[in-house]
Structure 1
């Protein structure tokens, strides 16, 4: 397994070409995985165009290889959305780099905890979240069945 030490994760415009490509790839993958017509999970670019929100893109040698975002839930809580790694770059540290930057920014923005939800057909994501310190909580939004919700205290 190659771990890239040159992964750069940082805030970018959610409406940029690279951001939109990553969001579209994730939405298409989730639509196929869960056999639904819309894999956006309710995410809209406007969700991260508010104060104390951000869209993060991970790059290797300038090439976009993953993304993630945080959007406010409350004064003290923020939600992770649109976590995605391009398939050829999975298990190489990309998602961890994105989460680390998201968590750093969440602390900078003054949040006390970070929450997220993922589906049952994403065991690799669940394993990653648990490995980096997220713990299970009750579902906090949506009406999906078998959703896994997590939180990490900052």
Structure 2
């Protein structure tokens, strides 16, 4: 029997969140140099319409991601990470699905993200789940791969919304 990955918003300053962020930063630092933070601050998600997401498998933290506002309609996906022993088990998809759910709930119409060329698996995942390439939208490093996914209210949600306004 396989376990289900559960992803939900959690406190970015919890012990599990801080450990996941530390592991991600170390991995990115080895790949690209520097401290691996990519300019991300914990305070980026300690504001309205932002969240830090932790994925758990049988209660154990296996991955994380964050969404932070870019503008009124766009939110940026940051700090996407899956612990190496748990890759290819649906962790990243669960995090992205929760990011999309929260983005819709917060009133955004699209999600954007940037990744690097040394992470082809990440780029392939984003394309597989509906993200498409866009011009770089933040920073000046030309090796960035930028993506966007447009959010569309489901027909059921639209009908529910329109019936509430009728």
Query: How far apart are 1:135 and its partner, in Å?
Result: 0.3
Cα separation, 2, equivalents of 1:146 and 1:5: 37
Query: How far apart are 1:103 and its partner, in Å?
Result: 0.3
TM-score (norm 1): 0.96
Larger Rg: 2
Cα separation, 2, equivalents of 1:137 and 1:62: 36
Consecutive unaligned residues of structure 1, counting only runs of 5 or more, are: none
Question: Match of 2:140?
Answer: 143
Q: 1:10 aligns with which of 8, 11, 27?
A: 8
Deviation per CA, 1:23-63, whole angstroms, max 9, x where unpaired? 000000000011x2210000000000000000000000110
Query: How far apart are 1:5 and its partner, in Å?
Result: 4.5
Question: Match of 2:34?
Answer: 37
Query: Is 2:131 the counterpart of 1:134?
Result: yes
Q: Which has the higher helix share?
A: 2
Runs of 4 or more above 6 Å deviation: none
Matches within 5 A, 1:27-106: 27-34=25-32, 36-106=33-103
C-alpha RMSD of matched pairs (Å): 1.1
Consecutive unaligned residues of structure 2, counting only runs of 5 or more, are: 152-166
Cα separation, 1, equivalents of 2:20 and 2:113: 19
Cα separation, 2, equivalents of 1:59 and 1:98: 10
